[in-house]
Structure 1
Amino acid sequence: MQELIRRRSRAGFVGRAAERSAFRANFDTAPDDERHRFRFHVHGNAGVGKTFLVRELEQIARERGALTAYVDDSAGSVPEAMAEISRQFAAQGRRLKDLDRLLAAHRERRHEAELAALAALEAEAEENGRPSAGGRLVARAGVVAAGMVPVVGPLAGLLDSDQLAEGADRLRETLVARFRDHEDLQLVLAPEQVLTPVLLRELSDAPAPWIVLFLDTYERTGPYLDPWLHTTMTTDRHGPLPATTVVVTAGQRPLDTSRWGGLADFVTDLPLAPFTETEARGLLAAKGVTAEPVVEEVLRLTGGLPVLVSTLAESRPADPDDVGDPSATAVDRFLKWERDPARRAAALSCALPRWLDGDVFRAAADCPGEDAEAVYDWLRSLPFVTDRDGGRLRYHDVVRAPMLRAERRRSPRGWAERQRRLARAFREWREEAGAGRDAGELWADETWRELRLAETYHLLCAGDRDALAQALRDFVPACDAGAGVAARWARALLDAGQDADAEATAHWGRDLTAALDTEGITTALGLLLRHAALDAPTQARARLVRGDELRGEGAYAQALAEYDQAVALDPELAPAYRHRAGVRGELGDHDAAIADLDRAVALEPGNAWYLALRGEHHRIARHDAEAIRDLTESIRLDPAAEFPWASRGATHARAGDLEAALADLGRALDLNPDYAWALARRARVWRAMGDSARQLADLDHALTLTPDWPWARCERGDALRAAGRDEEAVADLNIALTLDPAYTSAYASRGASLTHLGRHAEALADLNRAVELRPGYVWALCRRAVLHAAMGRLDEARADVARVRELDSEAVERFSDTDRAVLGPVLAG
C-alpha cells in the first residue's frame, strides 16, 4: 500500500525541476570530484513543499541503487534517529546487527538508569519521612540533565533548574555505582560516542553504491542532530564515514553558518520559494484545473504557496465561483467560514503587527476583556497563524499581505491611527525594558531591540514625518549589533514600505538588504553615508562601525581611515579612539595605541576597560611601571573582570616577581576557570619556578579549551621537549605550524626536538627556515651550530658560532655541557 501511494504521489509531482536535477546529477560525479556534494539542505517556510520534495529525492536516490533512510521529528534524539535508520535499512535487506545490539543495550541501560534514579529518590524520601510525589519527574529530570534525552516537549515546561541539578547529581552518583562497565556507563551518559563508531563501521560494509540519509523537520531535530552530524561528517572522532554517503536535511531555516559556513564547497543549498506561475499552473493542470479564469483566481489567492495551490486544486474547481467570488478579496477567502464579526475584526486587526503575543494581541485587537482570551485562542488555531519562534505568532505572508491591503484601502486614516497606537504600545514596553541603562547596553539586548524595531515599523506604516530618517539613523547601531540585526532592520524598512505602499521606505529597504546580502555591513553603511541626511554624530558612529568591519577583515589601512574620519566628525567619540588603538596595536605601533587610549581615558576616566587595554599595551611595549599602574586602577574599578588580573600577572612574571604573578593569574582563573590565555601565562610562571608538571597541566587545559591556538601548541611543544618527550613535542609543533606556517619559534623548537630524535636532515631544514624568517634569532643559530657539529659540518658550525658572538657575546657561555661536548672542536678553534 505504501509503495502504491508513493508511486501515485510521484506521478503527480510538479515543479522543483532544478532541485531534482541538481540532486540527480550528484550521483554522476564521483565523491573525489570537486563538483560532488556530500550534503543538500532544503529550506523554506512552512507549506512550501519541503517534505514533498524530500520524498521525491528519496525515490531518485533509490533509482540509483542507494540505501536510504528518512528521519523526521518522530525521532527525539540521536540514538532514536540511528534506530530509525537501522530499521529502514533492514527493510531494504541490510541489517545493522551490531548497531541494533547496542541500541537495545542503550534502551535497556537507560530504562535501568531511570528506575535506579527513581528508586534512590524514593529511598531517600522514605528515610527522611517525606512523600515521594513528583519523584518520577525529578528522576526524569536527572536523565534530561545528564544529556540522555533533549529537553523538548512537555517535559521542558515542567522542569526548573533546581530539579535538573538535583536530578543530574543523583543520577550520576547512582549510575557510577550501578554500572561498573565503562561502555554501559557511556551508553547511558554519552550514547552517541558508543553508537556512532558502530554505525559508521557498518555503513562502510554496506554493499550499496550510495548511502543517502534524509533528515526532515530539521527546525525541530537540528538542535540535537546538527552538532552530531557536523562532528560525524567533518571530523574523524567517530571513525571514517563512507565517501559515498550523501545527507539531505530539510527545515524552515537555512544552515547554521557558524557551524557550516566554511564548508560551502561540500554543501548544496536548496532554498524553496513559493511556486513560480509556471510551476503553479503545472500543478493545477496535473489536477485537471485548466480553465484560465479559475487558474488566475487560484494564483491570486495563494501567492504560489504549494500547499494552498494543491489544496484548492484538489476540489477540481471548474468555475471561479467554485474557488471563490472573483471579486472577493483574499481576506474573504481566508475568513470565509468565520461568521462572528468580533473574530473577523480581530483577525484583520492582528494582521497589522509583524508578530503577536498576548500583549500585542490586546494592543492590536479591539476586543472586550472578557472575550479577549477566547478570541486569542481561536486566532492561534487558524491554519495561517503559526508559532515560529517560541511563543510569538506570525501570519503567513500570503494571508497577511492581502489583509493589510484591504485594511489600508478601507480606511487610510483609521489604518494610520491603529499603526500609531501599536507604535505607542511598543514604545512604552521599550522604555520599560530600557530604564536605567545606557545606549550600548540597550542595543546589545535582543528584547529591547525587537521592541524598538516593532515601534519603528509601525511609525513607518503610519507615515510619520520623521519615521524614515529615524529608522535610517537606527540602522547604524543595528549594524554595530551584528549582520543579523542589520538584516532585520533593513527587512523592516522593506516590509513597511510594501505594507504601507511607501515607495521611499521600500526603496531604502531593498537597497540596504541587497547591500547586506551581496557585500555586507561595510557596503550598506557606505550607501547610507552617501545618500542619507545623517547628522555628524551618526556619521561618526557609522564610520566607527565600518572601521570595525574592515578591521575584522584584516583591512587595517582602510579601518584606520574610517576611525580617523570618525574622530574628525565627533572628537568626543571615545570608542573610536579605543578601536583605533586596537588596530594600531595589531600593526605593532603600541605607542600610538597608547596615545589613542590616553584620549579615550580622558573622555571616560572611570572606564575600567579602557584602562585595562592601555595597561595591556604598556605591558606589550615593556612599560612595566605604567602597565602596573593602569591595570591596578582597572582592577580597583572592576575587580570582577579577569582580563586586568591576567595582564598584571603577566607583567609581574616578566619582572621576575613570580609570587605576585601566580597570585594575579590565579585570581583571573578564579574568576574564569576556562581563561586559556591566563592558563598559558601561568604555565610560563610554573616553568620559571621549575614545576614542569603544573606547567604541562595548565597547557593541557588551555589546549582543551582552544585546540587551534598556535602559541599554546608551541608552548606545550617546548615544555614536552624540555621534559624529554620529543615525539609528543613534534606532534604539537606540527599542529602549530599547520595553523601558522610562518611561526618562527615553532620551526626552531621542532628543529631542536628532531635533533634529539636523530632526524638530522629534517631538523636542519627547520632550523634553516627559522633563521631565514628571523636572521638574528640567536637560539636557533645556537641549535643549528650544535646540529652542524653533530653532522660533522664544522665550518658551518663555526660560522653559526661566530654569528652568535656578533649578536650576543654572552650567548656562547650559556651552552650546556652536552652542547659543549658536541661543539668541542668548534669552540676550541
Structure 2
Amino acid sequence: MGRREQLSRFAHNLAKDPLSLSDPAAFLFHLRGVGGVGKSTLLRRWREAARQAGAVTALVDDSDVPGVLQALTELARQLAEQAGPLKGFDKAVERYRREQEAATEPAPVEGGASPSSRIATQAGLAAASVIPGAGPVVSLVDREAAAQQLDRLRAAGRGRRSRDSDLAGVSRAFVEELCELSEVYPWVVLFFDTWEQTGRYLDDWLPGVLQDESGPLPANVIVVLAGRDKLADRQWGALRSQVNDESLEAFTEAETRELLAMRGVSQADVAEAVWQMSKGLPLYVELLALTRPTTIGQINQSTDAVDTVVERFVQWINDPHQRETVLACALATQLNEDIFSAVVPPEARALWAWLCGQPFVSGHGDFKRYHAIVRASMVRWQRTRSPQSWTVSHQRLADAHAAWRADAEQDLAENKRWGNSRWRQHHLAVTYHQLCGRPAAALTQALEQTVHAAEKGTAILRQWIDAFEQAARDTTDPTLLSWADRLRHAAAGNDPALACLTTLLTHGSLAPTARAWAHTYRGRRLYHTNHEEEALTELNRAITTDPHNRHALAYRGDIHRSLSHAEQAFADLNAALALDPTDAWALAVRGIAHHQAGRYELALADLTAALDLDPTDAWALAARGVAHHQAGRYELALADLNAALDLDPTNAWALNTRGETHRQAGRYELALADLNAALDLDPTDAWALTTRGEVHRQAGRYELALVDLNAALALDPTDAWALAARGVAHRQAGRYELALVDLNAALALDPTNAWALAQQRLTRQEAEHPNDSGA
C-alpha cells in the first residue's frame, strides 16, 4: 500500500464518529519500517490529518524522552497549547518534582525501634498510664502509640524516598487529563516516534497505561507508535490483539520515479540508477533527487550506498557556507538556534531557517535534529576527512555548553543542579563532546560523572549511558566502545544504578574521591533496599577511601540511627556536621536521632536549624511536627504538620501524626480524614489501622473499631497496643471474655503496661457487676 493510500485510510478512520472505533483493537497503531523509509514523515502527516479531523494531538520522539516524566511533560505541553492548561497534571508534576528535589539529600524518616523496643517504650511510659480519654494522660498513651509506628515508618519511608520512586501519581493525573480532553474533542491522538529509542524509557510504562493501570483510558484516545522493530512480547504480549500493526515499505520503483519526476529528474537511465542506489528508501531518494543528476556518471556508485548518497548531496551544495553549515551542525546531537550559532562560522549564522528546511532535519518544540542515518554518515565523513578539525569543533561545542551550564548554575544551589533539566542537559552535552574530541583524556572525568548520574536515578543514568554509546559510535574508539557495552549490560538488570556503580568500581580507574562517591551511593542504594549491613560495609569503604566525604558519614549515621546504634549514629552525624555545619539533611537526621532518644528539645533545635536552612523540606517539617507532638505541644505540631502536607500531601507519616493529634483533641472526623488518606497511600500500615480503630472506639463505633484492630493485628500479632485497644473495644461492647483474652495477651508481651493492667481490672469488675459498667 502506498503512502497516499495509508494516509487516506488513517485520515478516514480519524474522521469517523469516535464511537465507531470503540473496539479496543483500533486504539493502538504501530508503524514499522527500516531507517530512512519515511516513518517520521508519515507520522507527522498523520498528525496533521488527525488535527484536521478535529483531534487534539501530541508527538514525542527520542529527543524529548530521557524518561517517563519528560515524555509526559512534553505531551502535556503540546496538548495544553491546543486545549488550555492541564492544571491537575501540572500540580502532580510539581508535587513529584518537589519530592525529587528534596531527595537530592535523602530525607530522614522516623524509625529505628524494633518490636521489642516499642514494647519497652510503652513500659517506660506505663507507670503514668490510665484509660485513654481520661484527661492529660492521653498524651502518654499516644507517645506509646508513636513508638510502635517507628519500624514501619522506617521501611516505608525509605521506599518513598528512593531516587527511583514511581510516577504513578503523575501518570494517573495525565490519564485524568486525557479523560477530560476526550469529552471535549472527538479524538485525542498521542504519537511516539523512533520507538526503538523512546521505548527504552517508555516500554515499561505505556503498555500499563493502555491496560488501564493509571485509570480507565477513554475509547477515543489513540496511540500511534513508529519504530524499526516489532513490539517486544514481554511488554506488549497482553496487548497484541489490540495492536493495529502497519509495516511501511520502501518506495516502489514507480513511486521512486514519480518523486524524481516531481523534482525534475526525468531521464529514465538516471531514475534507474537512483532506484538501484537508494533501494527505494524515501530519504535517500529525496537527497539524490535534490542533487539534480542528469547523467548516470553523476550518481557515483559505491559499495556503501548511504555514505555515497550523503556525499553526493553535500557535494551538490554549491554555496560553501551552506555546505560547511550542514557538516558542522551534524556534530551536535540536537540543535537549536543557540547551538547552531555556536558551531557555524559567523558568516553562516543567517542559514538557520535554510538548514531547518532540509529533508533530513526534523523536530518540534525547542530542538531540531538530523536523521540518525544521515548524521552518522556526515560524522564519519568529518572524522576521517579532518581529525584535527573534528577535535576542534567538538571542543568548541563542549566550551559552549560549559558556558551555558555555568549560566544555569547562577541561581542553583550545588545540591539542586542535577535536578535541574537545563543544567543537566548542558552538563551531558559537555561530557559527550569532550568524549568525542579527546576520548582518552575525557574518559576518567566522564566515568566520574556517570557515578553521580547513577545516584540520581535510572532515567538520568540512562542518559549518560546513551551519551557514552553515541560517543563510542561516533568515534569508533575501542575503549569507549568497551565501556558503552559494559554500562549497557549493567543497566539491563533489575537495579541499573547498583549494577553500574559495581561496574565502575570493578573496571574503572576512578580517582579516590570518585571511588568514595561510588561506595557512598552504593551504600545508600543498599540501605534503600533494606540491606543495612551491606550498606554499612560500602559506607565504611567510602570513608576509608575519603575521610572527608561528609555525605558518607551522614548516611552511615542515618543507618546506625535506624538500627538503634545511638552512639555510632551521633559520632558519624557530629563528624559530618563538623565538616559542614550547614548540612540541612545531617541536621535533620541528628534531630530525628535525638527524638528517638527522647531528647525532644535537642531534636527541636536541630530540626529548626535544618528548616532555617531549607524551609521547604517537607520531611523535616513533619519530623518537627512529630517532635512537638511527642512533647505535648499540639498546636505547634499541627502548624508543622499542616505545612509539611501543603508541600507534600502524600506524606503518610505526617498524615498519621496529624490524625493522631486530631484524635487527642476529640476531632474524630478530621482524624478519620487524615487516617483514611494515609491508608489510601499504604493499606498495610498497621499503626494507622490501630489509630483509626482507636478513633472509631472513642467515637462509640465499636464494630468498626474491631475491623481495623483485627486488620492491624493480622499484620503484627505482637503489637501490644493494638491488643490492648481491641480488648478495650470488646469490653465497651460488653464482650468481657474476648476483652480479657486480648488484655491478657497484651500483658504477656509487657507485664508492666499500666494501661492494660487497669483495663484488665476494669473488665473483671464489669464482668462481675455488669449493671455498674461504664465506658
| Shorter-chain TM band | 0.5 to 0.7
User: Would the alpha carbon gap of residues 322 and 403 (structure 1) be closer, same or farther in structure 2, given more than 3 Å must change?
Assistant: same
| 1:151 lines up with 2:105 in the alignment | no
Shift of 1:326: 0.8
1:363 corresponds to which residue?
A: 342
Q: Deviations over 1:367-389 (max 9, x none)?
A: 41xx523x11010111211125x
User: Would the alpha carbon gap of residues 444 and 586 (structure 1) be closer, same or farther in structure 2, given more than 3 Å must change?
Assistant: same
1:20 corresponds to which residue?
A: none
Partners in 2 of 1:667 and 1:402 — Cα distance? Answer: 56
Shift of 1:461: 2.2
Shift of 1:7: 13
2:452 corresponds to which residue?
A: 477
Partners in 1 of 2:463 and 2:282 — Cα distance? Answer: 27
Give the AA of the match of 1:324: I
> What is the aligned counterpart of 2:487 among 479, 498, 512?
512
> What is the aligned counterpart of 1:466 among 437, 441, 455?
441
Give the AA of the match of 1:779: A
More contact order relative to length (CA 8 Å, sep ≥ 6): 2
| 1:811 lines up with 2:775 in the alignment | no
Partners in 2 of 1:771 and 1:549 — Cα distance? Answer: 27
1:525 corresponds to which residue?
A: 501
Shift of 1:537: 0.6
Q: Deviations over 1:221-273 (max 9, x none)?
A: x9xxx99997784369769x9xxx9997333699xxxxxx9987745699999
SS at match of 2:345: coil
> What is the aligned counterpart of 2:578 among 602, 627, 633?
602
Q: Within 5 Å, give how 1:72-87 maps onto structure 2.
A: none
> What is the aligned counterpart of 1:428 among 391, 403, 407?
403
Q: Within 5 Å, give how 1:380-395 maps onto structure 2.
A: 380-387=356-363, 390-395=365-370
Shift of 1:656: 2.6
> What is the aligned counterpart of 1:656 among 617, 626, 632?
632
Partners in 1 of 2:621 and 2:376 — Cα distance? Answer: 56
Contact 1:784/1:800, CA 8 A, preserved across alignment: no
| 1:346 lines up with 2:325 in the alignment | yes
Shift of 1:631: 2.1
User: Would the alpha carbon gap of residues 629 and 372 (structure 1) be closer, same or farther in structure 2, given more than 3 Å must change?
Assistant: closer
> What is the aligned counterpart of 2:602 among 622, 626, 643?
626
Give the AA of the match of 1:573: N
Give the AA of the match of 2:396: R
1:821 corresponds to which residue?
A: 766
2:620 corresponds to which residue?
A: 644
Tell me the TM-score normalized by structure 1. 0.61
User: Would the alpha carbon gap of residues 323 and 516 (structure 1) be closer, same or farther in structure 2, given more than 3 Å must change?
Assistant: farther
> What is the aligned counterpart of 2:553 among 574, 577, 589?
577
Partners in 1 of 2:239 and 2:625 — Cα distance? Answer: 46
Q: Deviations over 1:496-545 (max 9, x none)?
A: 23222322222212221222133512222222212221111110001112
SS at match of 2:574: helix
Q: Deviations over 1:294-313 (max 9, x none)?
A: 999979868xx965478799
| 1:249 lines up with 2:223 in the alignment | yes
Partners in 1 of 2:738 and 2:682 — Cα distance? Answer: 41
Contact 1:420/1:462, CA 8 A, preserved across alignment: yes
Give the AA of the match of 1:332: E
Give the AA of the match of 1:372: R
1:444 corresponds to which residue?
A: 419
| 1:782 lines up with 2:756 in the alignment | no
Aligned Cα root-mean-square deviation (Å): 5.8
Partners in 2 of 1:594 and 1:775 — Cα distance? Answer: 30
Give the AA of the match of 2:308: T
Partners in 2 of 1:798 and 1:728 — Cα distance? Answer: 19
User: Would the alpha carbon gap of residues 154 and 799 (structure 1) be closer, same or farther in structure 2, given more than 3 Å must change?
Assistant: closer
User: Would the alpha carbon gap of residues 514 and 776 (structure 1) be closer, same or farther in structure 2, given more than 3 Å must change?
Assistant: same
Contact 1:649/1:663, CA 8 A, preserved across alignment: yes
User: Would the alpha carbon gap of residues 575 and 324 (structure 1) be closer, same or farther in structure 2, given more than 3 Å must change?
Assistant: same
Contact 1:40/1:269, CA 8 A, preserved across alignment: no
1:492 corresponds to which residue?
A: 467
Instruction: Give percent identity, aligned residues only.
Output: 28
1:88 corresponds to which residue?
A: none
Contact 2:28/2:243, CA 8 A, preserved across alignment: no
Shift of 1:651: 1.8
SS at match of 1:329: helix
Shift of 1:398: 0.7
Partners in 2 of 1:815 and 1:629 — Cα distance? Answer: 40
Shift of 1:624: 2.4
Partners in 2 of 1:780 and 1:262 — Cα distance? Answer: 48
1:217 corresponds to which residue?
A: 191
Give the AA of the match of 1:538: A
Partners in 1 of 2:703 and 2:648 — Cα distance? Answer: 32
Gaps of 5+ in 1: 11-26, 55-69, 83-146, 162-188, 200-212, 255-260, 734-744, 749-766
SS at match of 1:250: strand
> What is the aligned counterpart of 1:694 among 645, 670, 673?
670
User: Would the alpha carbon gap of residues 282 and 563 (structure 1) be closer, same or farther in structure 2, given more than 3 Å must change?
Assistant: farther
| 1:372 lines up with 2:346 in the alignment | no
Q: Deviations over 1:589-622 (max 9, x none)?
A: 4554343322222221122221112111322343
Contact 1:669/1:675, CA 8 A, preserved across alignment: yes
Partners in 2 of 1:314 and 1:727 — Cα distance? Answer: 81
**Equivalences, count:** 625
Partners in 1 of 2:690 and 2:757 — Cα distance? Answer: 25
Shift of 1:53: 11
| 1:330 lines up with 2:309 in the alignment | yes
Give the AA of the match of 1:251: L
Q: Deviations over 1:404-439 (max 9, x none)?
A: 122222222222222222222222222333348664
Shift of 1:395: 0.8
SS at match of 1:352: coil
Shift of 1:812: 3.4
Shift of 1:638: 4.2
679-688 or 430-439: bigger deviation: 430-439
Give the AA of the match of 2:626: A
675-684 or 530-539: bigger deviation: 675-684
| 1:455 lines up with 2:430 in the alignment | yes
Shift of 1:366: 2.2
Give the AA of the match of 2:452: P
Q: Deviations over 1:543-581 (max 9, x none)?
A: 112223333333333222221211111111111122233
Partners in 2 of 1:512 and 1:376 — Cα distance? Answer: 36
Gaps of 5+ in 2: 11-22, 58-75, 91-175, 199-203, 258-269
Contact 1:385/1:395, CA 8 A, preserved across alignment: yes
Partners in 2 of 1:266 and 1:556 — Cα distance? Answer: 38
1:503 corresponds to which residue?
A: 478
| 1:747 lines up with 2:711 in the alignment | yes
Contact 1:357/1:393, CA 8 A, preserved across alignment: yes
Partners in 2 of 1:819 and 1:313 — Cα distance? Answer: 98
User: Would the alpha carbon gap of residues 549 and 608 (structure 1) be closer, same or farther in structure 2, given more than 3 Å must change?
Assistant: closer
> What is the aligned counterpart of 2:514 among 538, 547, 559?
538
Q: Deviations over 1:721-753 (max 9, x none)?
A: 43244676678x4xxxxxxxxxxx6635xxxxx
2:65 corresponds to which residue?
A: none
357-366 or 393-402: bigger deviation: 357-366
Tell me the TM-score normalized by structure 2. 0.64
> What is the aligned counterpart of 1:550 among 521, 526, 530?
526
Partners in 1 of 2:223 and 2:695 — Cα distance? Answer: 45
User: Would the alpha carbon gap of residues 387 and 196 (structure 1) be closer, same or farther in structure 2, given more than 3 Å must change?
Assistant: closer
336-345 or 393-402: bigger deviation: 336-345
Shift of 1:359: 1.6
Contact 2:618/2:644, CA 8 A, preserved across alignment: yes
